[in-house]
Amino acid sequence: MTYDAIVIGGGITGAGVARDFALRGWKALLLERGRFGRATTAGSSHLIHGGLRYLLYDRLTTHETCWDSGHIVRIARPLLTRLPILWPVYGDHRRGLETVETLLESYDRFQPLKGGRPHLRLNPAETLRLVPGLKPVDLRGGLLFDEYWVEAADLVAANVADARRAGADAFEDTGVEAITRENGRVTGVRVIGGKIIQAPVLVNAAGPWAARVAALAGAAVDLRLQKGTHLVYRGSVPALAGPRPVGLLLEAADRERYVFVLPGPDRTLVGPTDLAGGDDPDALAPTPEESAYLLDSCRRYFPIFPDRWDALTVAARPIVGQRGSEKRLSRGFQVIDHADRGAEGFFSVVGGKMSDFRLMAEATAAVVHRRIGRGEFRSVSAGRDLAGQPLGEWEGGAAPSARLKRILDRHPRVREAHALAHLAAAFVRHAALRRFRPVSTATLEDVLRHYQ
């Protein structure tokens, strides 16, 4: 059988690409070697988030992620649960209460793009009322912001279902063992078992395995794998018991990184770690050092925290062509056209995260569209929800400047300077206001109303 396009990789990126292609009327095929959404996507933190921590080094990625998270909230609202997240601050932390609040004030600017609420500041007493299990000694207060919890596999399944509804085919347990080529362009794939399927366009959405898939086409993708491990506790964790479920963002045991504690409907996640992941995504395994690191991070805050978890998850984040400090790596994405490497019709979409999968899919379609040239390009994936129902006009705000983004993507040092300049201005503004305005803190009752 012949298709317009074959998408290789059935995680959230590939599922989003297949949906976008199908909504354009392109005959698309999605192939996954295992189960949809059960590899890298399943090992995520299960958050649709705006990228708060990217504000420190990559402001435009935060803007872009909040903007696309807003679209995801619209198209997938029944799958999402608003989750308040508490950032407790203690006297020995690297970042004090005023610095953290400055960061959240900057984040507030982008929160409306995704339907987020402005942050709230709590004094120590109200912080302990919200999460009574926290260590009270030297607690300076807490800051609350919100993100969205999602069952990642359900989000993938909903995208696959809508892609099929729009005319795509999608198959699990169908690995690609070869890419067929003729006269410098791809012509299709051979799947395990020997069947050949033809298409003039192949999209490599294989995540951490993208370099391997690219090699089948005689192309190359420069990836750095970052390993993320989570502890998984079945049900709720007694230490987190309080008047309503809240997540936590904790300065970790090494005082360099941060880890989440995230209560879901049937389990609680602690993590992730963020370590160099080597070259082989199939060889990833959690280590005793990682689990000890996550547990030690929680015990800094909770005198009693369970030291027996029910499972560990591990996944690799594919980071595009970067070296250097892990915490400064951009979480942006790239769409690569491999025509100049003798693989015309072969494209790779790499990097990114679940919180901007829709934008990644649309950007992939835009690059493919320039090659196959079918009328005027327009956005299609934000105009209807994942159940196939039409949506009204987007009124959430503008995306970041594409021109500025291209410049900053090419110059990482300028990108970091851009982020730090905005934060410095925000800190000066915050400090000036604090001189003339008393500190306003919320009560537990305010919190319960704010996030109902």
Question: Angle at the Cα of 186 (from 183 to 191), degrees rounded to 5?
Answer: 130
Say if residue 72's pLDDT is above 90: yes
356 phi/psi in degrees, rounded to 5 = -135, 30
What's the pLDDT at 323?
52
pLDDT in tens, 200-259: 999 999 999 999 999 999 999 999 999 999 999 999 999 899 999 999 999 999 988 999
Domains and CATH numbers, the chain: 5-40+153-222+330-400 (3.50.50.60)
Question: For the ranges 55-69, 93-107, 293-307, 391-405, which has the lowest average pLDDT?
Answer: 391-405
Task: Please indicate whether residue 366 or residue 394 has the higher confidence score (pLDDT).
Answer: 366
At residue 292, does pLDDT exceed 80? yes
Q: What is the 3-state secondary structure (H, E, C) of 278-332?
A: CCCHHHCCCCHHHHHHHHHHHHCCCCCCCCCCCEEEEEEEEEECCCCCHHHCCCC
pLDDT on residue 331: 64
pLDDT score, position 289: 97
Angle at 428 between CA 425 and CA 433, to 5 degrees: 125
Query: What does the alpha-carbon distance between residue 320 and residue 301 come to, in Å, rounded to a whole number?
Result: 35
Which are the contacts of 61, defined by CB distance < 8 A and separation ≥ 6? 51, 54, 330, 331, 332
pLDDT digits (tens, 9 = 90+) for 134-170: 999 999 999 999 999 999 999 999 999 999 999 999 9
b or e along 121-157 (b: 16 or more beta carbons within 10 Å of the residue's beta carbon)?
bbbbebbbbbbebbeeeebbbbbbbbbbbbbbbbbbb
Average of per-residue pLDDT across 420-448: 78
DSSP state of 400: P
- Exposed (0-12), middle (13-18) or buried (19+): which is 116, by Cβ within 10 Å? buried
Run of H or E residues at 271: strand 267-271
pLDDT band at 438 (very low <50, low <70, confident <90, very high): low
**What pLDDT score was predicted for residue 322?**
57
- Note the pLDDT of residue 437: 66
Residue 442 has pLDDT above 60, yes or no: yes
Cβ(59)–Cβ(226) below 8 Å = no
pLDDT-based confidence at 57, cuts 50/70/90? confident
Gap between the Cα atoms of 311 and 288, Å rounded = 13
